[in-house]
Structure formats: C-alpha cells, structure tokens
Amino acid sequence: MIIDFTGKRAVICGGSRGIGRSIALGLAAAGADVSICARGAETLEATRQEIAAHGHRAHSGSADLGDAAAIRGYIADAAATLGGIDILVNNASAFGSSDDEAGWMSSMAVDMMAVVHATQASLPFLEQSKGNVINTSSISALRSAARQPPYGAIKAAVIHYTATQAAMYAKKGIRVNGIAPGSIEFPGGVWDRRKKEGSPIYDGVLRSIPFGRLGHPEEVANVALFLASPLAGWVTGQTIVVDGGQLL
C-alpha cells in the first residue's frame, strides 16, 4: 500500500531532530508540504533543507514550545506559508526527569500544554481541511517511571487527552491519534549519549528489548505516517505502542 500526501500540509512541533525529523522527512518524501519548529536554529535549518530537497514547500520557525504565545505565532505563520494545515504532529518534549518543581513545570509546559496550545491554534485550519492530529507520548506512560516521574505522568496525560480530543473533534471531521515510542536511538539523542558514556541504564534497556537493539526514529515515523493517512481513516482516539516489544 502506498501512502501519498501530495497536496497535504503538515506541521510538526518539535521536528528538527529524532522522531520529529523522521516524521517530517517521511511526510515530505510522500509529497507533503512541511513546516517544522524547534528552538535550535542551526539544527532547524539543516532539517528544513533536507525537507526542501524533496521538492516541496519547506518552512521552519524557531519557537519555544513552552510559550503559548510563541506557539500561536508559529502556527499562524506556518499556516499562512503552507496555505493551511492538514496534519498536526505534537512531538516536543522537555524530558523532565527530576521530581521537583523544575522537572514538573517543564514537562507540563512542553509535553502537555504545547499539545493543547498547538492544537487549539491549528483547529480552524484542521476544521477546513478535515485534517488530523498525531500526539507523541511514550511507553513510560504505561508503567511506573521511577527515573523520570514527571515525564511518565505527563505522557500518560497526553494519552488521555488524545482520546478526549478525538471525542471532541470527531463531529468536526478531525481524527486524533497518538504514538507511544519505546527507547529510540539516534545521533545526539539521549540514548546515543548514554551508550557513548557506557551508562548501565543503556545496557539495562538494551536487555529489555526482545529484538536486541533500540528502535530507530524511522520506525516510529512509519506508524505516524500511517495514522495521518487515509489508510487510517476509521482510526481515532488510539495511541499505538512502537517499542519492539520493550514493554513485554
């Protein structure tokens, strides 16, 4: 089955690296015009150029996804540049790990409230296009997360909100789904750093995955592309685990 996004306009919040980058490049390769945002200007521009190489409109905006006003400004700019929004991907994370005010506030602002703000800002465009939303959660949402209490709890809230959004927006013709990745390794990512540091946490996670390796961003992106496509036209309110059996 071929997934074709020709003529579709996709916005990825947190799209310059890792899973977000792979989703953006996958959408562009399938024909979509793509906009991405993140904070790091250099990485953002490098990924924008990769998107543009597919021959479609490529837009980027530097935005702090913990700032509601910045999100609204970015969404408005992206929609104006692309001519609307068909697909919104909420992928940003602060990776809050400390069980203190800073850890909880960063996770709430970026992992949860950015989903709320970006979706609400995109809603008028999604209504026009009968589009869809993809929210990135984590398998940490589905079990205890002693190493990252804020991260796991807030990602669980994202799964709940995904189902709630699906119920709220169905009458508008908008589908909302989620992905819950396991441990994903890519250059410069947290697991890549832990591997290079010789962290015992990396070795423990590696042993927990039946296939004997960590996942790749493209493997998560493929599921996101399916959910955003007409092939998943009767799927809404679901969060799909993509973890190579790590939860097993």
Report how far residue 86's alpha carbon sits from residue 83's, in angstroms, rounded to the nearest whole number.
10
Give the Å distances, CA to CA, from 248 to 86, 151, 165: 35, 20, 28
- pLDDT for 97 equals 87
Report how far residue 202's alpha carbon sits from residue 193's, in angstroms, rounded to the nearest whole number.
9
Q: Which domains does the chain have, with CATH numbers?
A: 9-241 (3.40.50.720)
Report how far residue 108's alpha carbon sits from residue 210's, in angstroms, rounded to the nearest whole number.
32
- pLDDT for 190 equals 86
- Mark the ranges of the chain whose per-residue pLDDT is less than 70: none
Contact 51, 213 (CB under 8 A): no
- pLDDT for 159 equals 98
- pLDDT for 73 equals 98
Chain centroid, CA 133 distance in Å: 10
- pLDDT for 193 equals 87
pTM of this structure: 0.96
Positions marked active-site: 151
